[in-house]
Every structure is written in C-alpha cells, then in structure tokens.
Amino acid sequence: MKRVIIFLFVAVFSFTGFSKPLITGAFIQLDSILNNYSEEDWEREIGYMKDIGIDTIVVQYSRYGDNFYYPSKYSEDEELPDESLLDLSVDVNENARYLKIQIPCTSREWTLITEIEIISNSNNIAPDSIYEFNVEPSKNYPDGGKIVDEKSQYSWNSMVGWDYPGKTIEINFDLKKNVFIDKVIITFLKSDVSAVELPEDGYNVLLKTDGDYSEPLNASWNEFENESEKDPLKNILEVSEKNSMDVFMGLGLNPDYWSGSFDVDKELSENKKVLTELFSLYKNFNSLKGWYLPEELEDRSFNTEDKKNDVIKYLKGIKTYSKFLTKKPIMISPYFGMNPNGLKYGEWWEDILKEVNIDIIAMQDGVGTHRTNVEESTKVFEDLQPVMEKYGVEFWANNEVFDQIHGWPVDIGNWKSEPANIERVLDQLNSMNPYVKKLIIFDFPHYMSPTDGGKAEELYNDYLYYFNEQEE
C-alpha cells in the first residue's frame, strides 16, 4: 500500500506537468556520537545524502554551550562528554573449535557491545558461527544477530546490552570446525553521559577443541591508545567537497536560549569569536558556502519593540561582520507558533527585513512538533513568500521529518520524537514546494539515515524509491 501511495504522488506530478518536489538539503545536529565519526563514517553518511539528491548540508551549531565541535582555543575541556565506540582486541594465534568470551560487568548500569569479530586468516568468521549467552541481553538492547552482523555503528539500535552490574557475561561460540584464530575484537560503547561504562578488566577469551577450556587470554585496556583529537567539521567539509556539496556552518548557541534568555551583546560577541575561528580553520574549503545562525527566531518571544530591536541588532551585527571578514551569506531558520497568522507574521518580518538583509531564510514548517499541521503551515508559507521576495530573501522550507510523540505541545512528558512516515513527508514537500526555492529537512542523521536503522532507515528507503521513480 505504501509504495502505491508513493506511486500516486509521482503520477500526479507527471500528469500535471510539474516536476516532483525533492529534498535537496539537510541539517546535521552534531552530538557526542556524531562527534566521534571518522572521515569514513562521514563518507558513508554523506554518501547516503547524495544518493537521494541532497546537495546542501547545514550544520546546526559548531558550539553548544561549553561544548565545541572543533579545536577551539576557547574550549575549557579538550573533549565533549565522552561517548565513543572503542575496539578492544586480544591476539590468540591458536587452533580451536569452541571459543568462550567472559566479560566481567563493572559498569554501574549498562554494558553495551555493538560487534564481536573472530578473525581467522584475516577473515571474520563470527557471522558464520553458532553462539549463545549465559544471560540473555536486555529487552531494551536485544541481540537478534546484531552482535555478529559486521555493522558496527554509532547507533543505539545497533547495541546489544546488559544491565548486569557485578556479574559476568559469557558468550559461547561454536565455530563448527577446528580453525586457526588470529584474534578476537569486541567493540564496546563508552558513554559517560548515559552511564555506560567499559569493563575495567577488559574481557577473557578461552579456547577448546576437545576436553577442557584453555587458560584465559586477557584483552586489557592497559595499552589502549586514545584516539586523536576530533574535528567533525573538517571531516564534513572534506567529504562534502569530494561530493561537490555545499555546507552552511552553524555558529554557537547558548542552551539558555531555549529558556527565553538572550543577551544580544554577549551572544554577538561570542559568535563573532566563533565565526573568526571557523573561518581561520576552514576558509580554504570550497565546500564552505556560508554561515548559519542557530537561534530559532519567532515573533512571540520577540514581541516588544525592545526585543525586536535586539533581533535586528544581532542579525545586523553578524551580517556586517561576516560580510567584512568572509564575504559569505548568512542563513537562519525561524519558526512560528500554534494557530499561526501568516499575514501578521509577515508584518513582523517586514519590520526586521527593512532594517537588515538576510540572505536565506529556511522557515521551519512546524509539522513534526505538532505546533501546526500541513494545511496551516502551507498558508503561512503562502503569506510569507511575497514578503521574502520583496526584500530579496532566498526563501527555503525546513521540513521536519520527525514526529514528536512526547513533550509540549503533545503532552507534559519529556521531549521525545521518532522519524515520520513517508506519506506525511511527501505531503509536506508537495504543499510547501510552490512557495520556496529549496526544500531542506531536519535532520538527516537522527531521523532519515539508514545508519540509525528502524523507522529512519524505512523513511530513507521509501524516499529513495520515490526519488528514483522516473516520470513518464
């Protein structure tokens, strides 16, 4: 049924003579996991984007509070809160048919593994083996074959885990025949912010062909070498340049902004520093197209003349400084609230835009957060389009490809969301497309990447099918 619906969308555009609306840009919201992506990880992720026609990436922010996603001289800490995948290996160099892994759980809460590899003659034979646990993994992080599927990923969906402090996990492998084993590699997750700790003593490997198991071989962290300093922004720019894609680099965001705090002079000063550093580090990348201001502006929080003047002062200050230092455009992504009045919102933007020229406004559609529905949002885009045209603003739509399931305005719980379904996303694209120059989404890694599995992978595959459908 789903593919029939997608086909109908394509057929309607073909029949009417209009080209089907396509996603051509995507936000990336960096976090501790994405901070640890290697260049190879970004090649995979950005490759997924390119395969569905995305040519523009918007990095939401390069600094969030005290956390920097690039090597900054203003950073108090060398690293972000530690969340990493770490490979721990032990050399075996013996023949065996049966292999036992013992993992003493010293974590206060969770022990999480994303992959086990058993290397024989340079090949991983773990996927072809038979294995069992002495204690089954938690229902929150079940196995189902993931632990040997050769898909070690920075995704919670890829984790196999135990809430088993103070006890020992045993994983028993039957390799089906006597084979020479070079080494064993286990990939663990370490996450200080989520109370996922590494087993302090590493793990043991025991072998046998007939009779009793051998003495244990210990894989220890003692000689584990820390990875080099992370620079995800450089990796994103390098891979984007290889793929002829543009990157708008987000500046800094103070988390207090979400609580209504906005000290215009302080934020202007801080983001001038960030912009200066970013331009100094990355100015030679052709993929660096412009700058993104991560404050999500709207008329209800900035509803007095003084607050509106703060917005003007901030935008004008960054715009002027950017033009002087970098000669690159500025982009913002504002939003509107519940029961929106597009005409009044247009008047608010008139007051801003007649004082300061903004190059690109990628208006959030609010559909994923349930502040509005597709019909309400479309009317706002229709009302804003002539205002943007009047002031020479390039008008984009920032389509939310998630579905908020908890938190205001859905309920009083903690904010939680999941990837949207393809039918709603196509409705958003179809409805906003007539009024904008470009359709971008928020955000790709968390809601539409195959890397994340589950509903995100389903949405990607459904959109890929839609993207590849040729118009007759």
Please indicate, yes or no, if residue 459 is contained in any of the structural domains.
Answer: yes
Whether residue 255 sits in one domain with residue 396: yes
Average pLDDT, stretch 34-55?
Answer: 95
Please indicate, yes or no, if residue 105 is contained in any of the structural domains.
Answer: yes
Whether residue 45 sits in one domain with residue 102: no
Per-residue pLDDT band for 315 (boundaries 50, 70, 90) equals very high
Q: How far apart are the first and last CA of the chain?
A: 21
Tell me: pLDDT of 6 over 70.
no
Whether residue 246 sits in one domain with residue 164: no
What percentage of the chain exceeds 90 in pLDDT? 71
Domain boundary pick from 188, 219, 250: 219
Cα torsion 336, 342, 345, 346 to 10°: value is 130
Whether residue 242 sits in one domain with residue 167: no
Whether residue 187 sits in one domain with residue 99: yes
Please indicate, yes or no, if residue 224 is contained in any of the structural domains.
Answer: no
* Cβ neighbours of 158 (radius 10 Å): 23
The neighbouring-strand residues paired with 331 are 292, 360
Whether residue 165 sits in one domain with residue 134: yes
Per-residue pLDDT band for 1 (boundaries 50, 70, 90) equals low
- Could you give phi then psi for residue 131, rounded to 5 degrees? -145, 160
Average pLDDT, stretch 328-348?
Answer: 95
pLDDT value of position 68: 92
The neighbouring-strand residues paired with 26 are 57, 441
Tell me: pLDDT of 108 over 90.
no
Provide the CATH number for the domain around residue 314. Answer: 3.20.20.80
Average pLDDT, stretch 219-231?
Answer: 68
Please indicate, yes or no, if residue 225 is contained in any of the structural domains.
Answer: no
Q: Using alpha carbons only, give the angle 376, 471, 48 rounded to the nearest 5 degrees.
A: 75
Please indicate, yes or no, if residue 301 is contained in any of the structural domains.
Answer: yes
Domain boundary pick from 193, 219, 245: 219
Whether residue 131 sits in one domain with residue 240: no
Domain boundary pick from 219, 251, 285: 219
Please indicate, yes or no, if residue 31 is contained in any of the structural domains.
Answer: yes
Helix 232-242 / helix 264-282 crossing angle, nearest 10 deg: 50
- Number of domains, the chain: 2
Whether residue 186 sits in one domain with residue 301: no
449: left (phi over 0), alpha (psi -120 to 50) or beta: beta
Tell me: pLDDT of 23 over 70.
yes
Please indicate, yes or no, if residue 319 is contained in any of the structural domains.
Answer: yes
What average pLDDT does the chain have?
Answer: 90
Whether residue 57 sits in one domain with residue 161: no
Tell me: pLDDT of 151 over 80.
no
Give pLDDT tens digits for 185-224.
Answer: 999 988 876 778 899 999 999 999 888 999 999 998 875 5
Q: Tally the C-alpha atoms within 13 A of residue 233's C-alpha that lie toward its C-beta.
A: 26
Please indicate, yes or no, if residue 120 is contained in any of the structural domains.
Answer: yes
Peptide bond into 340 cis (omega under 30): no
Tell me: pLDDT of 472 over 50.
no
Distance of alpha carbon 236 from alpha carbon 267, whole angstroms: 25
CA–centroid distance for 176 within its chain = 40
* Cβ neighbours of 194 (radius 10 Å): 15
pLDDT value of position 150: 84
Give pLDDT tens digits for 355-405.
Answer: 999 999 999 999 999 999 999 999 999 999 999 999 999 999 999 999 999
What is the domain range of residue 128?
A: 83-219
pLDDT value of position 226: 46
Q: Using alpha carbons only, give the angle 413, 416, 421 rounded to the nearest 5 degrees.
A: 130
Whether residue 240 sits in one domain with residue 112: no
Closest CA to 444 of 23, 28, 62, 153: 28
Whether residue 17 sits in one domain with residue 91: no
| Residue for token pair 């043991």 | 204
Average pLDDT, stretch 241-266?
Answer: 94
Whether residue 394 sits in one domain with residue 429: yes
pLDDT value of position 2: 59
Q: Using alpha carbons only, give the angle 85, 91, 94 rounded to the nearest 5 degrees.
A: 140
CB 211 within 8 A of CB 129: no
